[in-house]
Amino acid sequence: MAYSALLSALRCTPVWRSSMHSVANEHSFWDALFLARNLPVYFIHADCALIHIKKVINYCSIINPRNRAYSFLGVDLAIELYNDGKHICVMFNDLVKDAGDHAVQANQFLVVSDGEGALIDPSGHLTYNALVLAMHKYLPKKELKYLFASHQDPDIIGSLDKWLFSIECTLYVSQLWSRFVPHFCNLNRADGRIVGIPDEGTPVYLRDTVIHAVPAHFLHAEGNFQFYDSKSKILFSGDMGASLVDADDIQKPITTKAEFLAHLPTMSGFHKRYMVSNKVCRFWANMVRTMNVEMLVPQYGRYFVGPEAIGAFLDWISELQCGIDLFTQENYLYRG
């Protein structure tokens, strides 16, 4: 549905809410109303009096209105990677949109196993409200048990304070960063809520599945993990396999070697700079070849499905000279 059509739909649909009190802290709801500021918006109070609430529009943040509108109308914001009715893995690829498109596209992931969920790399403040709205179709926020962070960057887990404030969940992150990420939070918010993953990784049990934190150190962060869902056989590969493309280009996975080669220009610059060295790329690729990975889904850009495309990527990354392999004294000259 076109954006203009969405706006038209919003402008001729009254918005109702049964209670003001239950949503007093739900900024996501106010965000959804942002585009409806020209609508007659009403609350039905307990005494059934209609209250015109244009004032509450002031609660809205003004970022990302398009996705607020999509979510509000129930338009899909997710790519379903796996869904057998009981176990669901979804990817949100289009929730990062600041007013000037200054922020890099990023994917966020939700794994739901028999009604219990985990978010992988839920991103920062820019995405929080839209993610809460978008994930609601699959899981009420309160059923979220875990957050998984591949590493410590703000586009990975910058929204930590909001998640820890709004639900009872636990964050898994490398033990190298478990005492750094509380800096994203208000005082004492993270106390007892963060599990530091040891360097060798750890299994985490989520109802009918096991999510394995697997080592991906120096790819790109010093303490770095990827998350493998044993039920769907999806490896959520963080920065490995990432590409810099528009959100609209992500719907279709890469399934063949030819598609991978055509896609390479969107990937190679990123991997050459952000991956630390060929040595660690090779170690990682060797590990992945021992796993049963049916889908490799990075945090940015398009994803890979099937042995041909995944094999082509592993072969390429195993040979890639990158990071410190390419640096010389020329990169460390004082130019004052």
Least distance in angstroms from the C-beta of 226 to Fe ion: 13
Show Cβ contacts of residue 56 under 8 Å, excluding neighbours closer than 6 positions.
Answer: 20, 30, 33, 41
What the block records as the tokens of 21 is: 């009190």
Least distance in angstroms from the C-beta of 240 to Fe ion: 11
Least distance in angstroms from the C-beta of 270 to Fe ion: 11
Among 94, 153, 161, 229, binds Fe ion (CB under 5 A): 153
Closest CB to Fe ion among residues 28, 224: 224
Sort 66 into a burial class: Cβ within 10 Å, 0-12 / 13-18 / 19+: middle
Least distance in angstroms from the C-beta of 153 to Fe ion: 3
The site that binds Fe ion (CB under 5 A) totals a number of residues, namely 1
Least distance in angstroms from the C-beta of 83 to Fe ion: 29
Closest CB to Fe ion among residues 31, 153: 153
Length of the chain measured in residues: 336
Q: What is the DSSP letter of 253?
A: P
Chain positions 60 to 99 lying near Fe ion, rule: CB under 5 A, are none
Closest CB to Fe ion among residues 43, 225: 225
Closest CB to Fe ion among residues 43, 177: 177
Near Fe ion by CB under 5 A, which window of 65-73, 153-161, 206-214, 303-311?
A: 153-161
Q: What is the DSSP letter of 300?
A: S
Q: Give the helix ranges, DSSP H, for the chain.
A: 3-11, 27-33, 65-72, 125-135, 154-157, 160-166, 257-263, 268-274, 278-289, 307-319
Near Fe ion by CB under 5 A, which window of 19-27, 94-102, 147-155, 255-263?
A: 147-155
The string of DSSP letters for 123-190 reads --HHHHHHHHHHHTTT--GGGEEEEE-SSS-HHHHTTHHHHHHHS--EEEEETTTTTTGGGGS-TTTT
Question: Does 161 engage in binding with Fe ion (CB under 5 A)?
Answer: no
Least distance in angstroms from the C-beta of 75 to Fe ion: 30
- What is the binding site for Fe ion (CB under 5 A)? 153
